[in-house]
């Protein structure tokens, strides 16, 4: 197993993530807090010579739009900082730091009722440049009112945040009523919470917080440049553990348009606290149109949790985008569940998991659950509203996850989605499911098994301050030639004249381009994956060149949550060739872009398959009896696999044919065939391949198995196949013949025979 990257020191990482600077607040009153000689809580606190000593007067002050509360760098307090005032979009209220030295530190006593910063029903408030520690929650924003907006939390370092687990209740009642901190389900560095008072089906119908599918609790939340370590959890957005709307929807409208970016959430091990329970790196519940980008979630869930562990837990989300992140190394902590990268736990719709690096998690890279529907799985839950619809898993690089890249759990309903364009090097394969579980609602298209012969190259994972390491360099250009950039160790970024390049971001300037350059270590064919997002001003452009020749044409990068793809497959390279990922734009532009490169292992590319699930063997291929699976390819496939086995000692050969089908599902042409002697057919079921001419995605085909020279002797001394009656494949079905393949008829409704196609 390959060992992962060594990350930069925590103190330098916030700068390395290259966030866009925050605008200064509009003019208001500035108050200072500093426990120095001459401080006074009785005064106005408006000068650095006579600041407030601590946070007692803060809680008693009604702050106005544009006001600032500045904490002295190098100072520390053991108190809760609390405000409940709101600013405006033009003049937010700001809590920040002043002076020089270390960030202001709020360090509590580690009690399960301790908070460092508490914000109640605030709008247009910014908290930045502070450190919080030894509390049950680092920064908590609590909302029991609707229609709030504009909360920003940035450049905050939280550590040793523990004390509350599962609402501190042995039996979760849906309200967190046992939690010492209202609305808090689990201790987290940053927690956006509110009351959860639910009826038996999880509807938020009881005061003080009823809300409908037309309401908004909080809009325009931004959490940026935050580091959390040695805590139960990194970032939590959850009204307790989630609520439904009073009119019966999932409640995804509660928190809208949230942006989580430039996060470094690592070593979430509970900090040695014996009360620690470490479920997730990020918990996202009740969100719509949120985005998680340019972040590292590493070694989350690093202490046991009674309900399992994961890098990201997702419930009640709609339109969520997870793009350009490193989600790695959720460890084995001995819990029976999960230990994965991303957990699609409950009631998610239109989740897009795009161009991330997901690797070395003890469990699967991504787990898709279908466990809560009492109509089909009695006793599992009292909530019949679970679903998982339209998940898109696109362009990611998966490596060395313990249960495959994508995993399915339970079949209480049929999740739907698409798995496409991914690169994977997985000991257990791309898609894995347990007994009785399957991927019947998913399409698989153009996923590449990149093998292990040559290491993969991932720009964000491989980022260092050494030019040329792992083949990567950072360059800028003002004229016709590229120039090496200079590494800034303090900022952890590479600098040109006016440009910069970091772990995730490229920052061009007017008249100066920036490039991430990779030099091929060996000749072969490479696959490139990348997605560029505009995260700054203007409309930058990106392109990919090999030795000065475009291999991905220039594209404008609009200011959307998903950006544009920059992919290339089967690109021939010679050792020493240079591939440049080039960003151009005016000053103020910034592009999130973390390309992946993998040499092609030469493995066939899966077109489609229904093989992900529990199939059952049956042996009756003999004499005039035949079986056929009909299908329609998604690409110009040139290989079809049929799962077959030898039962006993059949006399005749096994004959496989791929037919083009005409009206009524009958063969009109043979496009591929293969004959196997009895000794060439495995005794344990496995794929038997048939090469074909290029199949037409607009036509229907069938892969048929017969053995006309094997006598009719029942299910012994014949050939077998695998089937499943749960309709795992929607583009075809199982058919059978009793006349040696002259005519074919439909088999049991919803039955499919195990097969796959490749190109």
Per-residue model confidence (pLDDT) at position 19 = 36
The answer to whether residue 182 scores a pLDDT higher than 90 is no
Question: What pLDDT digit, counting tens, does each position of 500-544 carry?
Answer: 999 999 999 999 999 999 999 998 889 999 999 999 999 999 999
Residue 8 lies in a domain: no
Query: Looking at the structure, do residues 370 and 423 belong to the same domain, yes or no?
Result: yes
Query: Looking at the structure, do residues 222 and 300 belong to the same domain, yes or no?
Result: yes
The answer to whether residue 7 scores a pLDDT higher than 70 is no
pLDDT tier for residue 435 given thresholds of 50, 70 and 90: low
Helix, strand counts (H, E) of the chain:
2, 67
CB burial readout 120-131, b (16+ within 10 A) else e: ebbbbbbbbbbb
Query: Looking at the structure, do residues 345 and 463 belong to the same domain, yes or no?
Result: no
- Residue 672: domain span: 606-758
Record the tokens describing residue 146, joined without a space. 């609707």
DSSP state of 469: G
Residue 587, domain CATH? 2.60.120.1240
Which residues face 677 on adjacent strands? none
C-alpha span between 450 and 358 (Å, rounded): 15
Yes or no: say if 255 and 290 are a contact pair by the CB < 8 Å rule.
Answer: yes
Per-residue model confidence (pLDDT) at position 23 = 39
**pTM (2 d.p.):** 0.86
Query: Looking at the structure, do residues 595 and 724 belong to the same domain, yes or no?
Result: no
Task: Return the higher-pLDDT residue of 337 and 387.
Answer: 387
Number of domains in the chain: 3
Yes or no: say if 182 and 142 are a contact pair by the CB < 8 Å rule.
Answer: yes
Question: What pLDDT digit, counting tens, does each position of 536-562 carry?
Answer: 999 999 999 999 999 999 999 999 999
Question: Which residues have C-beta within 8 Å of that of residue 650, sequence separation ≥ 6?
Answer: 622, 678, 707, 710, 717, 718, 719
DSSP state of 9: P
The answer to whether residue 475 scores a pLDDT higher than 80 is yes
Question: Which residues have C-beta within 8 Å of that of residue 564, sequence separation ≥ 6?
Answer: 531, 532, 542, 555, 556, 557, 558
CA count, 13 A, side-chain hemisphere, 622: 22
Integer Rg of the chain from CA: 29
Residue 47 lies in a domain: no
Residue 664, domain CATH? 2.60.120
Of 74-78, 89-93, 165-169, 502-506, the least confident = 165-169
Closest alpha carbon to 566 in 535, 599, 596, 602: 596
Query: Looking at the structure, do residues 610 and 595 belong to the same domain, yes or no?
Result: no
Question: What percent of the chain shows pLDDT beyond 70?
Answer: 91
Task: Return the higher-pLDDT residue of 236 and 23.
Answer: 236
Residue 346 lies in a domain: yes
Whether the upstream peptide bond of residue 208 has omega within 30° of 0, thus cis, is yes
Question: Which residues have C-beta within 8 Å of that of residue 700, sequence separation ≥ 6?
Answer: 630, 631, 632, 660, 661, 665, 732
pLDDT tier for residue 712 given thresholds of 50, 70 and 90: confident
How far from 540 is each of 483, 512, 584, CA to CA, in Å? 20, 12, 6
C-alpha span between 594 and 585 (Å, rounded): 18
The answer to whether residue 420 scores a pLDDT higher than 90 is yes
Per-residue model confidence (pLDDT) at position 740 = 92
Per-residue model confidence (pLDDT) at position 491 = 93
Query: Looking at the structure, do residues 586 and 658 belong to the same domain, yes or no?
Result: no
C-alpha span between 147 and 409 (Å, rounded): 37
Residue 686 lies in a domain: yes
How far from 221 is each of 20, 125, 352, 516, CA to CA, in Å? 16, 10, 19, 31
The answer to whether residue 13 scores a pLDDT higher than 90 is no
Angle at alpha carbon of residue 544, lines to 539 and 547, rounded to 5°: 140
Q: How many residues does the chain have?
A: 759
Per-residue model confidence (pLDDT) at position 12 = 40
Per-residue model confidence (pLDDT) at position 383 = 60
E-only strand ranges, 614-666: 616-621, 626-631, 639-647, 654-661
Residue 49 lies in a domain: no
Per-residue model confidence (pLDDT) at position 663 = 86
Report the pLDDT averaged over residues 289-316: 96
Last residue of a domain, one of 449, 465, 484: 449
Angle at alpha carbon of residue 32, lines to 30 and 33, rounded to 5°: 150
Per-residue model confidence (pLDDT) at position 22 = 39
Closest alpha carbon to 318 in 365, 235, 387, 218: 387
Query: Looking at the structure, do residues 418 and 488 belong to the same domain, yes or no?
Result: no
Query: Looking at the structure, do residues 487 and 615 belong to the same domain, yes or no?
Result: no
C-alpha span between 310 and 361 (Å, rounded): 9
pLDDT tier for residue 170 given thresholds of 50, 70 and 90: low
Query: Looking at the structure, do residues 184 and 291 belong to the same domain, yes or no?
Result: yes
Query: Looking at the structure, do residues 156 and 198 belong to the same domain, yes or no?
Result: yes
Residue 719 lies in a domain: yes
Per-residue model confidence (pLDDT) at position 18 = 38
C-alpha span between 91 and 318 (Å, rounded): 31
Residue 143, domain CATH? 2.160.20
Question: What pLDDT digit, counting tens, does each position of 402-411 carry?
Answer: 999 999 988 8
Yes or no: say if 81 and 117 are a contact pair by the CB < 8 Å rule.
Answer: yes
Last residue of a domain, one of 384, 415, 449: 449
Query: Looking at the structure, do residues 545 and 611 belong to the same domain, yes or no?
Result: no
pLDDT tier for residue 26 given thresholds of 50, 70 and 90: low
Record the tokens describing residue 343, joined without a space. 């957990």
How far from 480 is each of 240, 432, 548, CA to CA, in Å? 57, 49, 11
Per-residue model confidence (pLDDT) at position 243 = 86
pLDDT tier for residue 21 given thresholds of 50, 70 and 90: very low
Last residue of a domain, one of 599, 616, 643: 599
The answer to whether residue 280 scores a pLDDT higher than 80 is yes
Per-residue model confidence (pLDDT) at position 64 = 98
The answer to whether residue 630 scores a pLDDT higher than 60 is yes
CA 620, chain centre distance (Å):
44
Question: What pLDDT digit, counting tens, does each position of 29-80 carry?
Answer: 999 999 999 999 999 999 999 999 999 999 999 999 999 999 999 999 999 9
Query: Looking at the structure, do residues 445 and 361 belong to the same domain, yes or no?
Result: yes
């Amino acid at each position: 197993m390959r060992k992962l990257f060594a990350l930069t020191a925590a103190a330098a990482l916030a700068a390395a993530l290259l966030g866009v600077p925050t605008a200064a607040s509009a003019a208001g009153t500035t108050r200072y807090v500093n426990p120095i000689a001459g401080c006074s809580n009785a005064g106005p606190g408006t000068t650095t010579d006579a600041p407030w000593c601590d946070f007692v007067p803060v809680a008693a002050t009604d702050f106005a739009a544009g006001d600032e509360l500045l904490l002295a760098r190098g100072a520390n307090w053991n108190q809760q900082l609390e405000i409940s005032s709101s600013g405006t979009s033009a003049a937010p209220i700001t809590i920040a730091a002043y002076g020089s030295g270390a960030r202001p530190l709020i360090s509590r006593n580690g009690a399960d009722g301790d908070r460092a910063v508490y914000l109640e029903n605030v709008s247009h408030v910014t908290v930045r440049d502070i450190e919080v520690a030894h509390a049950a929650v680092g920064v908590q924003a609590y909302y029991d009112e609707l229609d709030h907006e504009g909360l920003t939390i940035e450049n905050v370092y939280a550590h040793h945040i523990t004390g509350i687990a599962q609402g501190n209740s042995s039996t979760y009642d849906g309200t967190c009523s046992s939690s010492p901190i209202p609305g808090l389900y689990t201790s987290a560095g940053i927690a956006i919470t509110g009351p959860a008072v639910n009826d038996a089906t999880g509807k938020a119908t009881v005061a003080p917080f009823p809300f409908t599918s037309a309401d908004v609790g909080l809009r325009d939340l931004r959490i940026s440049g935050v580091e959390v370590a040695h805590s139960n959890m990194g970032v939590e957005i959850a009204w307790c553990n989630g609520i439904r709307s009073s009119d019966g929807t999932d409640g995804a409208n509660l928190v809208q348009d949230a942006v989580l970016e430039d996060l470094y959430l690592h070593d979430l091990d509970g900090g040695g606290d014996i009360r620690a329970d470490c479920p997730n790196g990020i918990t996202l519940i009740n969100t719509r149109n949120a985005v998680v980008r340019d972040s590292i979630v590493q070694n989350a869930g690093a202490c046991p949790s009674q309900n399992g562990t994961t890098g990201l837990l997702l419930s009640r989300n709609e339109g969520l985008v997870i793009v350009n992140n490193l989600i790695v190394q959720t460890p084995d902590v001995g819990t029976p569940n999960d230990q994965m990268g991303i957990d699609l736990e409950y009631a998610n719709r239109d989740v897009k998991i795009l161009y991330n690096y997901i690797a070395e998690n003890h469990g699967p890279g991504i787990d898709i659950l279908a466990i809560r529907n009492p109509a089909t799985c009695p006793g599992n839950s009292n909530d019949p509203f679970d679903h998982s619809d339209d998940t898109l898993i696109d362009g990611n690089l998966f490596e060395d996850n313990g249960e495959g890249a994508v995993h399915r759990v339970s079949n209480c309903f049929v999740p739907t989605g698409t798995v496409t364009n991914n690169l994977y090097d997985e000991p257990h394969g791309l898609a894995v499911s347990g007994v009785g579980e399957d991927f019947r609602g998913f399409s698989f298209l153009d996923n590449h098994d990149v093998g292990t012969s040559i290491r993969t190259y991932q720009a964000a994972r491989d980022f260092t301050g050494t030019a040329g390491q792992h083949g990567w360099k950072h360059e800028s250009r003002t004229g016709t030639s590229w120039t090496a950039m200079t590494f800034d160790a303090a900022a952890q970024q590479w600098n040109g004249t006016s440009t910069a390049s970091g772990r995730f971001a490229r920052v061009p300037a007017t008249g100066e381009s920036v490039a991430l350059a990779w030099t091929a270590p060996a000749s072969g064919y490479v696959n490139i994956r990348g997605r560029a997002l505009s995260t700054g001003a203007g409309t930058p452009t990106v392109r990919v060149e090999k030795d000065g020749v475009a291999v991905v044409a220039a594209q404008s990068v609009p200011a959307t949550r998903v950006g544009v793809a920059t992919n290339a497959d089967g690109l021939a390279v010679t050792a020493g060739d240079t591939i440049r990922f080039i960003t151009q734009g005016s000053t103020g532009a910034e592009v999130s872009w973390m390309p992946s490169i993998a040499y092609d292992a030469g493995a066939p590319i899966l077109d489609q398959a229904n093989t992900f699930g529990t199939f059952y063997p049956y042996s009756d291929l003999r004499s005039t009896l035949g079986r056929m699976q009909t299908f329609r390819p998604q690409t110009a496939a040139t290989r079809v696999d049929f799962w077959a086995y030898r039962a006993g000692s059949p006399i005749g050969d096994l004959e496989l044919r791929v037919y083009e089908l005409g009206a009524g599902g009958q063969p009109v042409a043979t496009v591929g065939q293969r004959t196997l002697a009895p000794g060439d057919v495995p005794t344990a079921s496995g794929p038997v391949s048939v090469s074909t001419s290029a199949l037409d995605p607009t036509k229907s085909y069938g892969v048929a198995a017969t053995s006309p020279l094997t006598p009719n002797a029942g299910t012994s001394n014949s050939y077998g196949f695998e089937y499943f009656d749960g309709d795992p494949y929607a583009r075809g079905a199982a058919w059978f013949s009793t006349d040696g393949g002259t005519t074919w008829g439909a088999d049991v409704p919803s039955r499919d025979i195990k097969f796959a196609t490749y190109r």
